[in-house]
Homo-oligomer: A and B are copies of this chain.
C-alpha cells in the first residue's frame, strides 16, 4: 500500500515537518534534540514521533545521526510554509497587524485554514512572492525562488544597498528594526564600520544609526547593479 496520502496530517505532525524543514535548510540533517528545542518538547518525545513519521515515509531517520525530509515530507512542509507566510502577509496587509505580531497568530491558523482560503488570501494580496519579513513564499506547487542576499554586516562602507529581508522571528528585534526604518524595501547606506566584527553605523532614510554586528548579520540586502 502506498504511504500516507489522504489521511490528513495532524497538527503535531505539521509542526514537526515544518521544524525539520527549517532546521535542514543549512544542508545538515536535523538532530532530535534540536527539533525538541524548537518545538519545546522533550527529546525523547521527538525520537518517538520521528520513528512514526519515518515509517509513514515523511522523513528519513538514521538513528543517532539525524533526520531529513523525504520528497513527500518536504512537500507537506513547504505547504505549511506557504500557509504561514500568506497568512502573515494577509494579516499585515488587511487586518492591521504589525510584522512583529503576526507570527503567533499565523502559527495557529496555518493548521486550520483550508487550501481554498489560502488561495483566496493570496489572490487578494496579488500573489506576493515574499512576506512582510522578506521571506520567500513557496508557490502552491511547492516551488520557491530563494534569492541570495548579502548580510548588511558584509556590505562595504559607503555602499548603498536595498534592505530585502529581515531574518528573525523575535518580536522585540522586529519592533526595534521597524522603529528605525529597517524594513524590507528601505534604502540603506553603510557609513562606517569598526574592525574585528565591531559595530557599524548605517543611514536609513534621514538619520544615522548604530548597529551591532549580530543584528547587521540578519539584515539581508541586495547590492546595486554594479558587480
| Cβ–Cβ contact A117 & B105, under 8 A | yes
**Chain A residues within 8 Å of chain B by Cβ, number:** 18
Q: How far is the CA of A105 from the CA of B108 in the complex (A)?
A: 15
Other-chain residue from B91, B108, B112, B117 in contact with A95 (beta carbon distance below 8 A):
B117
* A38 in contact (CB, < 8 A): no
What is the count of identical protomers in the complex?
Answer: 2
Q: Is A186 an interface residue (CB 8 A)?
A: no
* A111 on the B face (CB < 8 A): yes
Chain B residues, Cβ within 8 Å of A144: none
Contacts of A121 in B (CB 8 A): 95
Known: A105-B113, A108-B112, A109-B113. 19 other contacts (CB 8 A): A91-B117, A94-B94, A94-B124, A95-B117, A95-B120, A95-B121, A95-B124, A96-B120, A97-B120, A104-B114, A105-B114, A105-B117, A108-B113, A108-B114, A109-B109, A109-B112, A111-B112, A112-B112, A112-B113
- Residues from chain B with Cβ under 8 Å of A94 in the complex: 94, 124
Q: How far is the CB of A104 from chain B (nearest CB, A)?
A: 8
